[in-house]
């Protein structure tokens, strides 16, 4: 008997972890299809690494907020199950690596003892909700967005609508019009506003990065705060039903909105409101547990040996809060990595001399708050001991990077060591840039933009080049990205591809050019727009010339062996089984969940589980005749044509009308009861049809 079965207080969490344990056992036994199992484990934060047989675990930290207790719990888990390295991400999560799949249920249970979850940290779900890390203390903020981010996180965690969408869904909350959380690249981005004394948000819809970046549309200039959760649910329902499911690279909501147009998409969202449980959902920000300043206490005396070095840190990594007499501290983490000794020491210091509220930043750093001015020099000396007092937070000397080829399946060329050598070069050759927050450098190991290279003034993504019959590590150079504020931003543009070993020279050329030709106060994205893309192509053109390559050009940064382009292979393969049977098992599970939710009075949830059971059942039958359909709406239409119109399925006059009752009725007890009963009848009809198929196949054989 696993210990978490008796130790966890929350029965929902306990059952979730037990279910994961059971599904792992079924996968090992070949009873669950690999693709289905992948979807299930990803929704529980378990992500296959480049190295076979081990997993990356993504720990979901809503808007990056951790208490010292939670950080210490994560340290314990990393020490027990991983390698002792904590990696912060651009979505304000923490990742740990090299974890055994079979140990993930107990790992998750250990985290939940401090109210830390893995649920929906990966997969086709609502991912971690991000927010400006300084929300609540930002001098420019309209109001604190943290309570709204927290409520959004809690509302949609385990929500039936968003468990198995076509692709992931990302939400952000910015603290001010400066748009610190990049609303314009999110599926939904919220910027706080006040109109006539009413709190609300500007809403940005269907942005996204990746191989093809889309700037978000303005859905609302102002939406009152009590409408943001119902609106988000309606958007998720539309995405779930109409979003692409077969072509993964086209399955984000940005493509759906592009195909439908904003007006048609908005009409679908409005049509969904009837089926939503809460037409309005007031959020009580006053009930949110506000961060408490530390008690006044004696600060140990320290002596600063290098006042100039301290001054560089103070000017680049310390800021005044809106609360008078308190300061925040930014901590720069190279590659977003820190280790157990430093993490535990940091937690101990925060407990004594700061607010118990550590924030992970969107550029992979950390933020501490409510530091008293008399404690700043003490904090500097303590952080310096841990090598966490490097100046230049959010400057060109603070390079954002994903794990790249170190651990990620999709990595093409190195990003981790590339970021390190760029930071070192800037610290040595351009020390004044630690004070410059007008220009960012970001690197991704592939085109998928986990390192957010498309947001950068200077961006790179992993690639390769064929030269003299050999493959060389390369980087695609992108320039000109940056936030313009209030939901507007510039996406970086591709300039050219260069051998990876020439990246330092590329950065030097770009920095020197900007320094020589910028006007006063000109952001890099403004400079890029003024000069034009061709100017920068010509500036860097010589670096793309491969006629004079050297042997070292075939070595990636941080590697001594010759480069081999090898996108990772993922986990060990499961046993090939009957996909139709797997889908039918999923139908039975959804029907069971529908009944459980109805019994608990969760009628909207029950209705959605019943809806999913019918869609999955229809998909199973379409699969049985070799018909693949890209969307849930397509499944419904194709089933109507293939089986109802041909009189093979006669349980209902129209299966389509039956299934789509979901968005034409209020989620009442009466409708839920009838809809679940009809879903069970629908499934019985499907099993009868499937039995007939199998019998006919046997006769023909």
The mean pLDDT of 182-188, rounded to a whole number, is: 97
User: In the CATH hierarchy, which top-level class contains the domain 579-700?
Assistant: mainly alpha
For residues 43 and 58, give the distance between their C-alpha atoms in angstroms, rounded to a whole number.
10
191 Cβ contact partners less than 8 Å away, ≥ 6 residues apart: 174, 176, 177, 179, 183, 201, 202, 204, 486, 487
Which CA distances in Å does 494 have to 476, 504, 536? 7, 18, 10
pLDDT in tens, 104-113: 999 999 999 9
pLDDT in tens, 491-547: 999 999 999 999 999 999 999 999 999 999 899 999 999 999 999 999 999 999 999
pLDDT at 8: 64
Structure tokens of 124? 């086709």
pLDDT beyond 50 at 570: no
Q: What is the 3-state secondary structure (H, E, C) of 639-672?
A: HHHHHHCCCCCCCCCCHHHHHHHHHCCCCCHHHH
Give the CATH fold of the 130-287 domain: Sulfite Reductase Hemoprotein; domain 1 (3.30.413)
Q: Are strands 327-331 and 318-320 parallel, antiparallel or unpaired?
A: antiparallel
The mean pLDDT of 459-467, rounded to a whole number, is: 92
For residues 617 and 685, give the distance between their C-alpha atoms in angstroms, rounded to a whole number.
10
User: What is the number of other CB atoms lying within 10 angstroms of the CB of residue 513?
Assistant: 16
CA–CA–CA angle 562, 568, 574 (5° rounding): 145
Higher pLDDT, 62 or 576: 62
What counts of helices (H) and strands (E) characterise the chain? 21, 22
Which CA distances in Å does 491 have to 145, 185, 488, 542, 591? 25, 9, 10, 24, 44
Asked if domains 4-112 and 579-700 share a fold, the reply is no
Tell me which CATH code domain 400-554 carries: 3.30.413.10
Query: Which one, of 332, 335, 343, lies nearest residue 79 by Cα?
Result: 343
pLDDT beyond 90 at 566: no
pLDDT in tens, 94-137: 999 999 999 999 999 999 999 999 999 999 999 999 999 999 99
User: In the CATH hierarchy, which top-level class contains the domain 4-112?
Assistant: alpha beta
Q: How many Cα atoms sit within 13 Å of 258 on the Cβ side? A: 16
When pLDDT is cut at 50, 70 and 90, the band that residue 144 belongs to is very high
Average pLDDT of the residues of the chain? 92
pLDDT at 407: 79
pLDDT in tens, 406-427: 778 778 888 999 999 999 999 9
User: What is the number of other CB atoms lying within 10 angstroms of the CB of residue 489?
Assistant: 23
pLDDT at 137: 97
Higher pLDDT, 561 or 633: 633
User: What is the number of other CB atoms lying within 10 angstroms of the CB of residue 56?
Assistant: 23
Q: Output Rg (C-alpha) for the chain, integer angstroms.
A: 26
263-272, 509-518, 582-591, 602-611: least confidently modelled range? 582-591
pLDDT beyond 80 at 35: no
When pLDDT is cut at 50, 70 and 90, the band that residue 573 belongs to is very low
The mean pLDDT of 342-354, rounded to a whole number, is: 97
Q: What is the DSSP string of 211-253?
A: SS-BPPEEEEEEEEGGGHHHHHHHHHHHHHHHS--S-GGG-SH
For residues 553 and 474, give the distance between their C-alpha atoms in angstroms, rounded to a whole number.
9
When pLDDT is cut at 50, 70 and 90, the band that residue 700 belongs to is low
Query: Which one, of 103, 87, 107, lies nearest residue 95 by Cα?
Result: 87
Percent of the chain with pLDDT over 90: 77
For residues 365 and 335, give the distance between their C-alpha atoms in angstroms, rounded to a whole number.
9
Question: Can you say whether residue 206 is alpha, beta or left, with left for phi > 0 and alpha for psi between -120 and 50 degrees?
Answer: left
Which H or E run contains 618?
helix 603-624
CB 357 within 8 A of CB 65: yes
Which CA distances in Å does 152 have to 130, 159, 219? 11, 11, 18
pLDDT in tens, 284-323: 999 998 889 999 999 999 999 999 999 999 999 999 999 9
Q: Flag whether the pTM goes above 0.85.
A: yes
When pLDDT is cut at 50, 70 and 90, the band that residue 447 belongs to is confident
CA–CA–CA angle 246, 44, 616 (5° rounding): 40
pLDDT at 558: 87
pLDDT at 571: 32
pLDDT beyond 50 at 574: no
Query: Which one, of 458, 423, 425, 421, lies nearest residue 439 by Cα?
Result: 458
Which H or E run contains 482?
strand 482-485
Query: Which one, of 69, 101, 237, 93, lies nearest residue 169 by Cα?
Result: 237
If 0-12 CB within 10 Å is exposed, 13-18 middle and 19+ buried, where does residue 143 land? middle
Structure tokens of 7? 């130790």
Domains of the chain, by residue range, sit at: 4-112, 130-287, 307-334+355-385, 400-554, 579-700
pLDDT at 567: 55
């Amino acid at each position: 008997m696993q210990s978490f079965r008796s130790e966890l207080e929350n029965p929902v969490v306990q059952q979730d972890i037990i279910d994961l344990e059971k599904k792992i056992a079924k996968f090992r036994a070949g009873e669950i299809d690999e693709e289905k199992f992948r979807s299930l484990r990803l929704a529980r934060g378990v992500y296959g690494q480049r190295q076979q047989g081990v997993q990356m675990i993504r720990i979901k930290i809503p808007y990056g907020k951790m208490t010292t207790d939670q950080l210490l719990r994560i340290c314990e888990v990393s020490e027990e199950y991983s390698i002792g390295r904590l990696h912060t991400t651009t979505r304000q999560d923490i990742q740990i690596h090299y974890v055994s799949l079979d140990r993930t249920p107990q790992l998750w249970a250990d985290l939940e003892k401090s109210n830390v979850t893995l649920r929906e940290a990966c997969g086709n779900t609502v991912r971690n909700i991000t927010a400006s890390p300084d929300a609540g203390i930002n001098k420019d903020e309209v109001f604190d967005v943290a309570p709204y981010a927290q409520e959004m996180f809690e509302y949609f965690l385990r929500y039936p609508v968003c468990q198995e969408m076509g692709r992931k869904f990302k939400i952000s909350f910015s603290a001010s019009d400066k748009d610190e959380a990049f609303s314009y690249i999110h599926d939904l981005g919220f910027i706080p506003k006040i109109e006539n004394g009413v709190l609300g948000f500007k809403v940005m819809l269907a942005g996204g990065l990746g191989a093809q970046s889309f700037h978000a549309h303005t859905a609302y200039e102002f939406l009152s705060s009590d409408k943001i959760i119902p609106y988000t649910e309606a958007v998720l329902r539309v995405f779930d039903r109409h979003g692409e499911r077969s072509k993964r690279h086209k399955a984000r909501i940005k493509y759906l909105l592009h195909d439908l147009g904003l007006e048609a998409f908005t009409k679908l969202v409005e049509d969904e409101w009837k089926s939503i449980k809460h037409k309005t959902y007031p959020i009580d920000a006053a009930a949110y547990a506000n961060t408490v300043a530390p008690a006044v206490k004696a600060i140990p005396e320290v002596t600063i040996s290098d006042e100039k070095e301290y001054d560089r840190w103070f000017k680049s990594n310390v800021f005044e809060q809106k609360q008078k007499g308190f300061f925040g501290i930014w901590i720069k983490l190279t590659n977003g990595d820190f280790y157990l000794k430093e993490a535990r020491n940091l937690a101990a210091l925060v407990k004594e001399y700061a607010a118990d509220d550590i924030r992970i930043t969107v550029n992979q750093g950390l933020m501490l708050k409510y530091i008293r001015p008399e404690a700043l020099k003490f904090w500097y000396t303590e952080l310096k001991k841990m090598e966490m007092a490097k100046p230049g937070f959010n400057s060109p000397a603070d390079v954002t990077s994903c794990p790249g080829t170190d651990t990620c399946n999709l990595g093409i060329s190195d990003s981790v060591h590339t970021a390190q050598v760029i930071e070192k070069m800037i610290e040595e050759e351009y020390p004044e840039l630690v004070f410059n927050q007008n220009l960012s450098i970001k690197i991704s190991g592939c085109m998928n933009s986990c390192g957010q290279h498309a947001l950068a003034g200077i961006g790179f993504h992993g690639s390769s080049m064929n030269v003299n019959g050999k493959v060389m590590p390369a980087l695609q150079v992108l320039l000109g990205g940056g936030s313009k504020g209030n939901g507007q931003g510039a996406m970086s543009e591709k300039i050219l591809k260069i051998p990876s070993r020439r990246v330092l020279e590329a950065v030097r050329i770009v920095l020197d050019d900007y320094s020589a030709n910028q006007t006063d106060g000109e952001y890099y994205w403004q400079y890029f727009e003024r000069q034009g893309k061709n100017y920068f192509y010509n500036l860097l053109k010589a670096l793309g010339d491969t006629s004079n390559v050297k042997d070292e050009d075939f070595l990636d940064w941080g590697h001594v062996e010759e480069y081999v382009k090898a996108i990772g292979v993922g986990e060990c393969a499961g046993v090939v089984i009957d996909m139709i049977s797997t889908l039918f098992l999923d139908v039975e599970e959804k029907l069971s969940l529908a009944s459980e939710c109805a019994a608990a009075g969760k009628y909207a949830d029950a209705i959605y589980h019943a809806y999913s059971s019918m869609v999955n059942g229809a998909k199973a039958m379409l699969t049985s005749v070799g018909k693949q359909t890209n969307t849930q709406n397509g499944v419904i239409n194709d089933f109507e044509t293939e089986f109802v119109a041909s009189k093979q399925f006669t349980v209902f006059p129209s299966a389509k009308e039956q299934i789509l009752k979901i968005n034409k009725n209020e989620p009442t007890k009466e409708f839920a009861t009838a809809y679940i009963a009809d879903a069970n009848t629908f499934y019985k009809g499907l099993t009868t049809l499937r039995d007939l198929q199998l019998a006919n196949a046997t006769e023909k054989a």
